[in-house]
Amino acid sequence: MKTYLKDFEKMAQKEIAYIPLGTLEWHGNHLPIETDYLVAVKLCEELAKRVPGYILPPIYLGSATKKKIKGRWLIGMDKYLKKKLPGNLYYLEPKFFSELLVRLGKNLVNQGFKKIFLVTGHGGTGQGKALRLAKRKLKNFTVLNPYEILEEKGVEIKHADENETSLLWACHPEEQKKSRKMKIPMSDDCFRYYGYDLRGKASLALGKKILNEMIKNCLKLIKS
């Protein structure tokens, strides 16, 4: 994304900014490690079509809870599979991550933005805590956590499951063909954890349904 000064000034006059958030982390072999921020960027693009605002470059950071198992601190999905997984790159402690967001938010406020939407493509307890902390510290923030909203409605999206797989495909349809072509054995950590090949239950139609619901729910918060 390229933004020239004249365009930025016009966007600042709208007083709305979107910050797409999503860390780089393991999603098995059937999804890219960038899945979270790819979803967040797509959400921001769709929201900005309906409520125009400046979309910041994605922040490839996030937070997650950790647990000490056999003397080792394991974070994110590591603690569930009880092993160090490849691809988990950018996790920060909730308090530190929230402070980073607040400082960025204050810079945006100084530039004239009054409403700043934190749009996360990364879910989980640690991420939710970090975003709530940031919101408490800066009143200009509105947290758009589509996973928490869906969970309140009885729809749970588990890490790298068929729902998240479908969602990524809906955001980037070219990834469906790429993913389905991959020869991934059932010994894959993700498939073994869930007990089946997640691609079998995933579909572009399901992903579009989830994405549209996320957009609808986020718009309600934006306009409230």
- pLDDT per position as a tens digit, 92-106: 899 999 999 999 999
Q: Is the pLDDT of residue 53 over 80?
A: yes
Run of H or E residues at 16: strand 16-21
Euclidean distance between CA atoms 44 and 50, whole angstroms: 10
- Mean pLDDT over residues 146-172, rounded? 94
Domain locations in the chain? 5-223
Q: Is the pLDDT of residue 11 over 90?
A: no
Predicted local distance difference test score (pLDDT) of residue 96: 93
Using the Cα atoms of residue 216, residue 217, residue 222 and residue 224 in order, give the sign of their dihedral: positive
Determine which of 84-88, 177-181, 199-203 has the lowest per-residue pLDDT on average: 84-88
- pLDDT per position as a tens digit, 54-75: 999 999 999 988 888 888 888 8
Predicted local distance difference test score (pLDDT) of residue 81: 87
- Mean pLDDT over residues 178-207, rounded? 96
Euclidean distance between CA atoms 15 and 20, whole angstroms: 17
- pLDDT per position as a tens digit, 24-41: 999 999 999 999 999 999
Predicted local distance difference test score (pLDDT) of residue 186: 95
* Residue predicted with more confidence, 69 or 133: 133
CATH superfamily label, 5-223: Creatininase (3.40.50.10310)
Predicted local distance difference test score (pLDDT) of residue 1: 67
Q: Is the pLDDT of residue 21 over 90?
A: yes
Predicted local distance difference test score (pLDDT) of residue 69: 87
